[in-house]
Structure 1
Amino acid sequence: MADDLDQANIRFGQSMTTWRKRSGKTQQSLARHLGCTKGHVSQIENGRRTLNRSKVKEVDNFLGAEGRLEHLYSELYQPERVDWISKFHQVQAEAEVIRDYHNNIVPGWLQTKGYAMSVISSGAPWVKQEEIQERAALRIKRAQQVLRKDGPQCHVVMDDVAVLRPIGPNEVMKEQIEHLLKLAVSGRVLLQMQGWGQLPHAGLDGPMTLIASPSAPELVHFESVYRGQSTDVPKVVRQFGTLFSRLQATARSPQESVAFLEEMSSKYE
């Protein structure tokens, strides 16, 4: 537990230092703002002390971190309190580059409303129709933020099973595939399909998203039905970046992927 806390202190301290320098503030000015000594600030930045929770928002505002220090603090010290879904989509919308891999369904930000409703109702059959409609509508709204004209570069690898296995009626699957084709042909998304039987398969552990942002460290995000986990630890990000590169190398080319999707679209006539 002590080692975990030390690592949390180090990561938060490094991020606080980055934002302080970016804002042009000195340790002395931050200490004066907080009513503590310069040495105390130095110890927090070096990972030797933990910033008091009651001061996190104040530090975030003073350094102009726009909530990022607050989010990191919650992730490191209070993971059970993080609204990871909304935070993740906020980071995603602000990204410069998104590299996304999914092994069984179309990523949420590439889904059509009909497909999204089928996914939600299949995974949570107890949810009422009205709430399914609301969740799907929110998913489309968030997708529009990512896919806007000046949005991030998007590199996506999907296993064939995402379109081979129907998760809804034929018309839902055809509409979804046509949406993917439109994005791929237009160049808005660099899309590659991972064929069945390709070895080695670097995506066996499931979905992952790598996000590079202009004002934050690159991070990798893991997603499941009930929870998500993100980390910006450089070594881990590099490792998953390597996995994504391997997935791209063994997947179909973008042109071959378009041809495959066109073939699949015709099968859902």
Structure 2
Amino acid sequence: MNGGVEVNGEPESSDSMKTFGAFVQGLREHAGLSREEFGARVHMSKHSVASIELGRRLADQSFVDAAEGVLGNTGALRKAFGRVARQPGFAVWFRKWAALEQEAVSLATYECRLVPGLLQCEPYVRVVFGNRIPPLSDEQVEAQSVARMERQYVLHERPNTSFSFVMDEHVVRRRLGGAEVTRMQLDHMLACAQLRNVEVQIMPMESEVHAGLGGPLALLETADGRRLAYSEGQQTGQLIADPKEAAILHRRYATLRAQALSSWDSVSLLERIRGEL
């Protein structure tokens, strides 16, 4: 899946979130700090800071308290924060799934269209949004890209959660954005594949069997043993919570993993494709 925060139309936000974000940005710039420098002081990535400043992510009290300390302790941020309309920055159909992701002990994704959102490098992300129809404005591309990059923190900050990715070989061979973007994307995927909690597998083009012909699929399991699924299409997405239906999709994914190259052979294939560019 590609991260419902930004898929299929404008993510929801509120004017007060955008106003609060602009206020944070103004104070940060007045203090002479870059997003990266400010982020380090409030214990956030520069992508997370950007997402708050652009009104795409709702700040929490810990951010406000930390930011106040960095930006002068005037109390202005706390007052502004009290007026923020708390409206989630996720597409409507993705909200429940996004909340469930925060509890998941395992997450699995199959993709046949493009590199899964959690594995996309920033140049690739910008190409993806640059290809949207109808076209997005520069501001929209920036906001969407920041949100997608921010979501990737889960790979690094949740080492006890298992992540599995299966994608068709043509996805990683497609030179979306050109050879240079493709090289960066392959390098990024290879780096992610080195994480102990991440497994990347490729379904080879010459395979004569394929359990994923029904389309893209995301699966998760919660700590209490619930198994759910999420299916995403054009302009919509569906959370599948019925135990019988979810069980079928989990079996399909298990078969798909068995049919795909092993993680070791998949990394070798990605390296060969990278060497051909």
Common fold by TM > 0.5: yes
Larger Rg: 1
Q: Residue 223 in 1 paired to residue 232 in 2?
A: yes
Aligned match of 1:124 in 133, 137, 155?
A: 133
Q: Residue 261 in 1 paired to residue 270 in 2?
A: yes
Aligned match of 1:212 in 206, 221, 241?
A: 221
**Number of aligned pairs?**
188
Tell whether the 8 Å contact from 1:96 to 1:213 is kept in structure 2 after alignment.
yes
Q: Which residue of 2 aligns with 1:185?
A: 194
Distance in 2, matches of 1:162 and 1:90, equals: 28
Structure 1 residue identity aligned to 2:218: T
Distance in 1, matches of 2:148 and 2:156, equals: 12
Distance in 1, matches of 2:113 and 2:270, equals: 15
Shift of 1:86: 3.9
Distance in 1, matches of 2:153 and 2:218, equals: 18
Spell out the pairing of 1:41-80 with structure 2 (5 A cutoff). none
1:74-133 CA-partner distances (Å, limit 9, x unpaired): xxxxxxxx7123442332233110111001211111111111111122133511122111
Distance in 2, matches of 1:216 and 1:230, equals: 17
Tell whether the 8 Å contact from 1:93 to 1:152 is kept in structure 2 after alignment.
no
- Greater displacement, 100-109 / 122-131: 122-131
Q: Which residue of 2 aligns with 1:79?
A: none
Structure 2 length normalisation: TM-score?
Answer: 0.63
Tell whether the 8 Å contact from 2:161 to 2:197 is kept in structure 1 after alignment.
no
Shift of 1:234: 0.9
Q: Which runs of 5+ in 1 are unaligned?
A: 1-81
Q: Residue 155 in 1 paired to residue 164 in 2?
A: yes
Tell whether the 8 Å contact from 1:157 to 1:193 is kept in structure 2 after alignment.
yes
Structure 1 residues 89 and 112, CA gap change in structure 2 (3 angstroms)? farther
Distance in 2, matches of 1:97 and 1:106, equals: 19
Aligned match of 2:185 in 176, 180, 189?
A: 176
Q: Which runs of 5+ in 2 are unaligned?
A: 1-90
Shift of 1:227: 1.1
1:180-223 CA-partner distances (Å, limit 9, x unpaired): 11111233311110000313211111110111112573211001
Spell out the pairing of 1:141-152 with structure 2 (5 A cutoff). 141-150=150-159, 152=161
Aligned match of 1:108 in 117, 131, 136?
A: 117
Tell whether the 8 Å contact from 1:89 to 1:142 is kept in structure 2 after alignment.
no
Alpha-carbon RMSD: 2.0
Say which structure is richer in helix.
1
Structure 2 residue identity aligned to 1:258: V
Q: Residue 85 in 1 paired to residue 94 in 2?
A: yes
Shift of 1:149: 4.0
Distance in 2, matches of 1:120 and 1:105, equals: 12
Q: Which residue of 1 aligns with 2:28?
A: none
Q: Which residue of 2 aligns with 1:198?
A: 207
Structure 1 residue identity aligned to 2:222: S
Structure 1 residues 260 and 125, CA gap change in structure 2 (3 angstroms)? farther
Tell whether the 8 Å contact from 1:159 to 1:194 is kept in structure 2 after alignment.
yes
The alignment-based identity, stated in percent, is 27
Distance in 2, matches of 1:86 and 1:142, equals: 14
Provide the secondary structure at the position in 2 that maps to 1:96: strand
